[in-house]
Structure 1
Amino acid sequence: MSFGYSVSDFIAVLRLANDVRKRFVDAPGQFTAISEDVKALSNVIRDIDDVLPQRDLTSQQKTELDEIAQAGHNILKDLNQTLDKYQEIGPDAKSLSGKSRRVWKRLQWDQKEIDQYQNRITLNVSALEIWLIQCSNVSFEIKASVDRLNKRQDNRERREEHQAILNWLTPIDYATQQGDFINRRQEGTGQWLLDSDEFQEWLKQRGRRMFCPGIPGAGKTILTSIVVDYLRSKYESDASVGIAYLYCNFRRQHEQKPGDLLASLLKQLVQKKSSLPEDLKSLYQRHKDKKTRPSINELSGALQSVVVGLSRTFILIDALDECQASYQERDRLLSVGFTPQAEAHINLFATSRPVPEFNIHFEGCLSKDIRARYNDVLSYVNGRMSNLRRPRISKYPDLQDAIRREVVKAADGMFLLAKLHMDSLLSKSTPGDIEDALKDLPRGAEGLNTMYEDAMERINNQTEGSQALANRVLYWITHAKRALASVELQHALAVRDGAVGLNEKFVPEVEDMVSDCAGLVTVDEESGIIRLVHHTTQEYLERTQKRWFPDAETLVPRRRNGHCHDLRYVSILRRLRKWFLSYRRRV
Structure 2
Amino acid sequence: MSFGFGVGDFIAIINQASKLRKAFVGAPSQCKELSDELRSLQSVIHDVDVDLSTTELNSHQRDDLTAITKCCRDTLTDIENVIKKYSAKESHSIRRIWRRATWDPDELRHLRDRVCVNVGNLNAFNGKLARIQISDVLMNMSDEQDQMCLDWLSSTDYATQQGEYSSLRQPGSGQWFLDSQLFHEWIKVPQQTLFCPGIPGAGKTIIVSTVIDELNNMYRDNPEVGIAYIYCDFQYIYHERQKVNFLLACIIRQLLQSMQKMTPGVLKMFNNHKSKGTRPSTKELSEALLSVTKAAQQVFIIIDALDELNDSKKILDEIFDLQVGEKVSLLATARFIPDIVARFQGMPLLEIQASRDDVSNYLSTSLEAMPYLSRKPGLHPEIIKGICDAVDGMFLLARLYLNSLSGKLSPKAIRTELRKLTNGSQTYDDAYDNTMQRIIDQKAVQTMALHVLAWVTCAKRPLTATELQHALAVELGEPHFDEDNLSDIEDLISICAGLITTTVDGTRNVIRLVHYTAQEYFEHKLVCWLPEPQQTIGTACITYISYEAFGTGSCLSDAEFEERLEKYPLYTYAARNWGYHVHDEPVADTLLLVFLLDQSKTDACGQAVFAQKGYVSHGDYSLDVPLGMTGLHLVAYFGLAEMAKVLLERRDWLSVTDSLDKTPFEWAATRGQDEIVKLFLDRGIDANYRGLGCRSPIALAASGGWISTIELLLDYGVEKGVPRQIQKMKSIEPLFGGQWRWIGLK
Fold agreement, TM-score > 0.5: yes
CA spacing shift, 1:356–1:181, aligned 2, 3 Å: same
Residue in 2 that maps onto 1:55: none
1:439 paired with 2:419, answer: yes
Q: Residue 531 of structure 2 aligns to a residue in which SS?
A: coil
Residue in 2 that maps onto 1:572: 570
Residue in 2 that maps onto 1:451: 431
Segment of structure 1 superposing worse, 310-319 or 517-526: 517-526
Q: Look at both structures and tell me which one has the larger radius of gyration over its CA atoms.
A: 2
1:174 paired with 2:155, answer: no
How many Å separate the matches in 2 of 1:26 and 1:420?
A: 32
Q: Residue 366 of structure 1 aligns to a residue in which SS?
A: coil
How many Å separate the matches in 2 of 1:454 and 1:393?
A: 24
Cα displacement (A) at 1:404: 1.4
Q: Is the 8 A contact 2:273 2:280 kept in 1?
A: yes
Residue in 2 that maps onto 1:522: 501
1:215 paired with 2:199, answer: yes
Cα displacement (A) at 1:401: 2.5
CA spacing shift, 1:564–1:321, aligned 2, 3 Å: farther
Residue in 1 that maps onto 2:580: 582
Q: AA paired with 1:375?
A: D
Q: Residue 549 of structure 2 aligns to a residue in which SS?
A: coil
How many Å separate the matches in 1 of 2:51 and 2:358?
A: 28
Q: AA paired with 1:538?
A: Q
The equivalent position to 1:353 in structure 2, one of 331, 335, 342, is 335
CA spacing shift, 1:490–1:80, aligned 2, 3 Å: farther
Alignment of 1:456-471 (within 5 A): 456-464=436-444, 466-471=445-450
After superposition, the CA RMSD in angstroms is 3.8
Cα displacement (A) at 1:494: 2.6
CA spacing shift, 1:417–1:584, aligned 2, 3 Å: farther
How many Å separate the matches in 2 of 1:279 and 1:443?
A: 60
How many Å separate the matches in 2 of 1:210 and 1:179?
A: 23
Q: Is the 8 A contact 1:372 1:415 kept in 2?
A: yes
How many Å separate the matches in 1 of 2:544 and 2:219?
A: 59
Alignment of 1:143-162 (within 5 A): 159-162=143-146
How many Å separate the matches in 2 of 1:105 and 1:333?
A: 39
Residue in 2 that maps onto 1:315: 301
How many Å separate the matches in 1 of 2:383 and 2:457?
A: 32
Residue in 2 that maps onto 1:250: 234
Partner deviation per Cα, 1:261-292 (whole Å, 9 max, x = no partner)? 11100000112555421111110111112111
CA spacing shift, 1:300–1:391, aligned 2, 3 Å: closer
Alignment of 1:108-119 (within 5 A): none
Cα displacement (A) at 1:239: 1.2
Residue in 2 that maps onto 1:377: 359
How many Å separate the matches in 2 of 1:490 and 1:82?
A: 32
Q: AA paired with 1:575?
A: Y
Cα displacement (A) at 1:536: 0.3
How many Å separate the matches in 2 of 1:203 and 1:157?
A: 27
Q: Residue 372 of structure 1 aligns to a residue in which SS?
A: coil
Residue in 2 that maps onto 1:487: 466
How many Å separate the matches in 2 of 1:265 and 1:306?
A: 10
Partner deviation per Cα, 1:424-471 (whole Å, 9 max, x = no partner)? 01121221111111112067875311111111111111142x223322
1:188 paired with 2:172, answer: yes
1:261 paired with 2:247, answer: yes
Cα displacement (A) at 1:383: 1.2
Residue in 1 that maps onto 2:398: 418
Segment of structure 1 superposing worse, 408-417 or 494-503: 494-503
Q: Is the 8 A contact 1:411 1:443 kept in 2?
A: no
Residue in 2 that maps onto 1:118: none
TM-score of the aligned structures, taking structure 2 as reference length? 0.56
How many Å separate the matches in 2 of 1:560 and 1:372?
A: 45
TM-score of the aligned structures, taking structure 1 as reference length? 0.71
Residue in 2 that maps onto 1:547: 528
How many Å separate the matches in 2 of 1:106 and 1:450?
A: 43
Gaps of 5+ in 2: 5-46, 71-120, 551-563, 586-746
Q: AA paired with 1:535?
A: Y
CA spacing shift, 1:389–1:272, aligned 2, 3 Å: closer
Q: Is the 8 A contact 1:207 1:346 kept in 2?
A: yes
CA spacing shift, 1:578–1:178, aligned 2, 3 Å: same
How many Å separate the matches in 2 of 1:157 and 1:348?
A: 26
How many Å separate the matches in 1 of 2:480 and 2:127?
A: 28
CA spacing shift, 1:456–1:74, aligned 2, 3 Å: same
Cα displacement (A) at 1:306: 0.7
**Percent identity for Structure 1 against Structure 2:** 35
CA spacing shift, 1:564–1:582, aligned 2, 3 Å: same
Q: AA paired with 2:317?
A: R
Q: Is the 8 A contact 2:231 2:303 kept in 1?
A: yes
Q: AA paired with 1:437?
A: E
Gaps of 5+ in 1: 1-10, 13-21, 28-34, 43-72, 85-102, 115-120, 122-154
How many Å separate the matches in 1 of 2:358 and 2:181?
A: 19
Cα displacement (A) at 1:530: 1.5
1:199 paired with 2:180, answer: no
Partner deviation per Cα, 1:344-368 (whole Å, 9 max, x = no partner)? x111000000011123321221111
Q: Is the 8 A contact 2:142 2:262 kept in 1?
A: no
Q: AA paired with 1:427?
A: G
Partner deviation per Cα, 1:311-346 (whole Å, 9 max, x = no partner)? 11110000000011264x2443443x426322xx11
How many Å separate the matches in 2 of 1:75 and 1:394?
A: 44
Residue in 2 that maps onto 1:3: none
Q: Is the 8 A contact 2:198 2:335 kept in 1?
A: yes
Q: Is the 8 A contact 2:141 2:260 kept in 1?
A: no
How many Å separate the matches in 2 of 1:468 and 1:205?
A: 56
How many Å separate the matches in 1 of 2:546 and 2:189?
A: 63
Q: Which has the higher contact order (CA 8 A, sep 6+)?
A: 1
